[in-house]
Amino acid sequence: MATADDVRRLALSLPGAMEKLAWGMPTFRLESGGKIFASLDDDDRAMGVKCPKEDREELIASEPEKFFMRAGHDDNYAWLRVRLAAVEDDEELYAILLDSWRQAAPRKLLDAHPDLARPGAP
């Protein structure tokens, strides 16, 4: 089971990541451009991550105990929620955060970290 502290530790381990409070919640964003790639919900039991709209329904259907959308909030955005209690371990949490980071990172940052820029990177 993942915790808010695990999210913070792993999110901030990604290149160019910083934490900033927004809407009363911790967000993890890129220093260059400020794009958010993850946020903790106000109860620290779930996090939001970037996810292409076309992929959300499949993820939710395959693992509804893990993935969900906050109705009225995530509908119009490429965003998905993850229940931290359903995340198996640091490896899975890191993979989810890394995927979201890749979607937010500018080309220059991805080019500077080719080991992280490609899918399947450790």
pTM metric for this prediction:
0.92
Strand ranges of the sheet holding 67-68, from the earlier edge strand across to the other edge: 17-22, 25-30, 36-40, 46-50, 79-83, 67-68
Q: What pLDDT is stored for residue 120 in this prediction?
A: 52
In degrees and rounded to multiples of 5, residue 28 shows phi and psi of -120, 125
Those residues of the chain that have pLDDT short of 50 are 121-122
pLDDT value, residue 122: 45
Is the separation of the CB atoms in 46 and 85 below 8 Å? no
Confidence (pLDDT) at 121: 44
Give the pLDDT confidence score for residue 21 in this predicted structure.
92
**Per-residue model confidence (pLDDT) at position 40:** 97
First to last CA, the chain: 20
Contact status, residue 18 vs residue 92, Cβ threshold 8 Å: no
54 residue type, one letter: E
